[in-house]
Structure 1
Amino acid sequence: MPHFSPVHVHGGRQRLRRLLRHRRRAMAAGLAVTAAALVAAGPRDAGPRDAERVRQRERPAAVAAPAQAAALVTAPVRIADAETVRLLHRGDRVDVVASDGSASRVVAAGARVTEVPEPQEGAARSATEAGALVVLSVPRATAARLAGAGASMRLAVTLC
């Protein structure tokens, strides 16, 4: 085996420093791109529902929970389109729209679905023609409006 002189690597520290410098640049570039994306997205406009959510978050939980629980009641509502009700699940948020043929209005906004009863087997055809039942959790005043609108108008739901 021939004799080799020892190998000395020159500039090892400079290469290490250059590698670290490039990592810093890559990190800085990534942060700059993220900041630009956040600025481009811009602030969201807070609508009335968003403002209410912010106000509820600011309240202490011990004060907000009992007051909110006491104010909500369950209201059974017959929706004109039975197929739409089949799309609903417990916990969904819906807007209830009442229509008399010439005009329509929102009767309940952001109501929570608490139950979607299954139609009975013998009444499947009549339920399709007459609509389907859904149980909503709404404030007491809204429940009264829903009952009044359901007696004289056709009701529909939209998912929130």
Structure 2
Amino acid sequence: MLKLKSSEASAENYRYDVFLSFSGEDTRKTFTDHLYKELKDEGLITFRDDEEIERGESIKFELENGIQQSRSWIVVFSKKYAFSSWCLDELVMILECRNSKRLLLPIFYHVDPSDVRKQSGCIAEAIDHHEEKFKREVDETKRKNMMDKIKRWRTALTQLANLAGMPLQNVANG
């Protein structure tokens, strides 16, 4: 699979071999659970938000640390992924940390990569949803910052879709 061993991760000061980014709403109890189990069975130390974040800790801080301390990332891009501002923020952070020695593998789960690249279909719906929500912000500075965030999300979506990934269309959860 990823051809990493956990000893390799610690040798380069990474705490995790893999960081899993996914929308829990539509893949946590299906595809992502299967993937997580397989990664663990291969001996890979895998960050998954419900396993690694301690109760009472700052979610954002823990996610940022998990992303920075991972040797590689797998983004399970599903129909609801772009509806989550958390997921989109994670994606931006992952792309900021990415370099030639670290692997980023996108899995397009029931999503066409061209929809992500062109921001059409369910991706356009998600971005429109965020834009409408942000436009309602009364504080002009906050609204501008939120709209700038959407620009970063759009750039990150395009960058992700331009990577060679794994499109999984109409496949079973296993």
**TM-score, structure 1 as length reference:** 0.20
Q: Which structure shows the higher helix fraction?
A: 2
Q: Which structure shows the higher strand fraction?
A: 1
Higher Cα Rg, which structure:
1
**TM-score, structure 2 as length reference:** 0.19
